Amino acid sequence: MLTAVSIGFLAVALAGLLLAMQMPATAVLAGIAIVATLLIWLLPVPVEADEMLAGVFSSLFADGVAMLTQPELWALPLAVLLGNLAFYGGIATRIHDAAALLLRRVPGGLAVAAILGCGGFAAMTGSSVSCASTMGRICVPEMLRSGYDPRLATGSVAVGGTLGALIPPSILFVLFGLLSGAPIGHLFIAGLLPGLMTLVAAVLAVLLWVRSEPGVAPLPGGDDPRRWQALSAIWPAILLLAVLIAALLAGLGIVAALLSCAVLALVIGLVLHRLTGAILWLAFRESALQLAGLLVFLVAAALFYGMVTLSGLGVALTDWALLAGLSPVMAMLVLAVICLILGMFIEPVGLLALILPLLVPLSGALGMELIWVGVILVKLLEIGLITPPVGMNVFVIGNVVPAVRTGQVFAGVMRFLLPDLLVLLILILFPALVLFLPGLIR
């Protein structure tokens, strides 16, 4: 006989299967949530339980309305707009250009520049996939012309793009905060140190690779007199990140902080004559299209979240975890294994919506800080972007650089996977590394 918990379990399993088949996440989440909710409602239950169920429905509806009307929802359009202003204003792409000139004479310097540039681009635009597409066209051909091994050239771009998931303003952090109730500003600040650790690990992976196999990254001949002038090209990106971090640490709300950065990005673009009327129209139009898709996804994810809560699956999972005596660290290690496996097949936003309804009640029962949980989850989603067989960044780069086989791209990212997993393990074992900076917010 079907129970509410079994319906919830079947719904989550079916959603995972359809998402792994690359079905549209919004349609999968909304469709399964509606059907499963109706099935739960039609279950034969005593009158008292029926009244209680009606109360749960009313509570979930109120929670959904509250989520879609909360002030922090404005962080989503502002983060999207900031990313497009930074992209169309040339702020995001110039980080790589400057780094490539500065590191020209360093062994593997172009690959390091690709990691830095892609990390900055993905952080500004909030999209790792867009970063892989845009920067793949810029960085990879340049490295191939310089004699770089295709594995290093493509792997550095694929890995660099994932850094944007942890460095603010991250769209994944915004979605996590809106769905879970965690403060988005705290999530942004909490992602800084893990993002820096991931960046350092990726750079060290390049340097060790080049040292063990010097032929993968030959040094270019001559010097470029413009390399010290390149520093002047990256000040807008540094200024925007500094303003955002300072505003959040000073206690300014996330909406006000993002609005300040968006206005600053607009002013910089206008002053430097990079944002014309036509380009501004493109930026606002692209922002509107992206926002529409994200809002529809957010509604679908909220419906799915409510269905799982209504089924009691999250409570049942929590009871099992308490009965098994799982500690917070053990629970996060289990989560890591599950997400790493599912992340091979499911896109990050879909996996976020699938896991979150089960993770939030579990974290509350085990006394885990939701900020720590959010950073670990986003870190796992980031790793999923480069893991086979469905690493989104890998296939995007394979499409935009047809001269390099997809297998070579995967071979390249595998060099970065072990350092990435090491950083993940450190963050799980030492939560203070995630929670220290948010604790400084006034």
Q: pLDDT digits over 383-436, tens only?
A: 887 877 767 777 778 777 888 887 888 888 888 888 999 999 999 999 999 999
Residue 1: the pLDDT is: 64
Residue 61: the pLDDT is: 56
Query: How many whole angstroms separate alpha carbon 415 and alpha carbon 155?
Result: 8
Residue 263: the pLDDT is: 92
Residue 187: the pLDDT is: 93
Give, for all 442 residues of the chain, the pLDDT tens digit.
678 889 999 999 999 999 988 898 999 999 999 899 888 887 765 544 455 555 555 555 555 555 566 778 888 889 888 888 888 887 777 777 778 777 777 888 888 888 888 777 777 766 677 777 777 788 888 888 888 888 998 888 888 878 778 888 888 898 999 888 889 999 999 999 998 899 899 999 999 999 888 888 887 655 556 666 666 677 888 888 889 999 998 888 899 999 999 999 999 888 888 888 888 999 899 889 988 988 899 889 988 998 888 888 888 888 888 888 888 888 888 888 888 888 778 888 888 999 999 898 888 888 899 999 999 999 988 888 787 776 777 777 877 788 888 788 888 888 888 899 999 999 999 999 999 999 888 7
Residue 43: the pLDDT is: 75
Residue 163: the pLDDT is: 79
Residue 56: the pLDDT is: 53
Query: How many whole angstroms separate alpha carbon 147 and alpha carbon 93?
Result: 23
Residue 272: the pLDDT is: 81
Structure tokens at 52: 């209680």
DSSP 17-52: HHHHTT--HHHHHHHHHHHHHHHHHHS---HHHHHH
Q: Which residue has the tokens 């034969």?
A: 44
- In 108-221, where does DSSP find H-type helix? 109-125, 128-145, 150-162, 171-180, 184-190, 192-212
Residue 48: the pLDDT is: 45
Burial tier of 245 (Cβ tally within 10 Å: 0-12, 13-18, 19+): middle
Residue 204: the pLDDT is: 93
Q: Which residues have a Cβ under 8 Å from the Cβ of 291 and sit 6 or more positions away? A: 76, 77, 80
pLDDT, one tens digit per residue, over 352-384 is: 999 999 898 888 888 899 999 999 999 988 888
Residue 47: the pLDDT is: 44
Q: Which residues have a Cβ under 8 Å from the Cβ of 319 and sit 6 or more positions away? A: none
Q: Which residues have a Cβ under 8 Å from the Cβ of 432 and sit 6 or more positions away? A: none
Residue 22: closest CA among 410, 350, 399, 387: 350
Structure tokens at 298: 């957010």
